[in-house]
C-alpha cells in the first residue's frame, strides 16, 4: 500500500468531522452526568456512615449496641435478684402472724359490757395462737393456746373457735379480693 501525502492545503470533509465532534460531546455530557450521579450517591453514603460512626459523640453503632447489650444483661441480672428477693419476702410474709380477729363476749350471765374476749393471731397456714381473757367481778383470767393449721391440742371454747375462724376467713377474704383485683 502506498501512502499518499496530504497537501497542506487539503481540507477535510466537515460532515464526518462534525458527527465525530457531536458524538464526543454527547459522550462527554453522559460522562459528566454519570460523575454527578456518582458524586451524589457518594455524598448520601458518607452521610449514612457519619450516622453509623456516631458523629453525635456516643461512638459508632457497634459500640452503642454493645453498651446497650451489656446494660440489658445487667438489668436482667438485677431483675432475677429482685424476683428471688420477692420470693423470699413472700415466704416470710406468709409465715408472719398477720391475721387477727377478736371476739368479745359476756363470760358470766350476771355481768354485762362484754369485757371478756378471745383474740386469734394466725399466719397464712393457720399457725399461731389464741388468747382469751375472762373478766369476772373479782378477777380476770387469761389463757393462751397454740394453733397449728387452725387447730389446737387444747379444746377451744366456742368464742375461741369463732375468733380463729374469723382470723382465717379474713385471710381468705383478703386473698380472694387480691385474686379478683389481679384479673
For 103-159, write each residue's pLDDT tens digit. 999 888 777 788 899 999 999 888 999 999 999 888 889 999 999 998 999 999 999
End of a domain among 94, 117, 142? 94
Whether residues 153 and 175 share a domain: the answer is: yes
In a domain, 17, yes or no: no
Mean pLDDT in residue range 5-22: 70
Chain mean pLDDT for the chain: 83
Q: Are residues 90 and 107 in the same domain?
A: no
Let me know if residue 48 belongs to a domain. no
Q: Is the pLDDT of residue 101 over 80?
A: yes
What percent of the chain has pLDDT above 70? 80
- Segment 25-50 shows an average pLDDT of 91
50 found inside a domain: no
pLDDT of residue 16: 76
Question: Cβ(128)–Cβ(89) under 8 Å?
Answer: no
Number of domains in the chain: 2
pLDDT exceeds cutoff 70 at 183: no
Domain that holds residue 105: 99-182
Domain end residue (candidates: 94, 116, 136): 94
Q: Does the pTM exceed 0.75?
A: no
131, 144 contact by CB (below 8 A): yes
User: Does residue 41 belong to any structural domain of this protein?
Assistant: no
Amino acid at each position: 500500500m502506498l501512502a499518499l501525502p496530504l497537501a497542506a492545503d487539503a481540507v477535510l470533509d466537515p460532515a464526518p468531522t462534525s458527527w465525530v465532534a457531536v458524538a464526543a460531546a454527547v459522550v462527554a455530557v453522559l460522562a459528566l452526568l454519570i460523575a454527578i450521579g456518582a458524586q451524589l450517591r457518594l455524598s448520601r453514603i458518607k452521610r449514612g456512615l457519619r450516622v453509623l460512626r456516631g458523629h453525635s459523640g456516643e461512638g459508632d453503632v457497634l459500640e452503642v449496641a454493645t453498651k446497650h447489650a451489656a446494660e440489658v444483661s445487667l438489668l436482667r441480672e438485677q431483675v432475677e435478684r429482685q424476683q428471688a428477693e420477692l420470693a423470699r419476702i413472700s415466704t416470710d410474709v406468709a409465715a408472719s402472724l398477720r391475721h387477727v380477729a377478736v371476739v368479745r363476749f359476756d363470760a358470766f350471765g350476771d355481768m354485762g359490757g362484754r369485757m371478756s374476749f378471745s383474740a386469734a393471731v394466725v399466719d397464712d397456714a393457720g399457725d399461731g395462737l389464741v388468747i382469751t381473757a375472762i373478766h369476772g367481778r373479782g378477777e380476770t383470767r387469761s389463757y393462751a393456746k397454740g394453733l397449728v393449721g387452725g387447730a389446737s391440742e387444747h379444746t377451744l371454747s366456742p368464742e375461741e373457735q369463732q375468733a380463729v375462724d374469723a382470723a382465717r376467713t379474713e385471710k381468705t377474704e383478703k386473698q380472694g379480693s387480691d385474686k379478683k383485683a389481679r384479673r
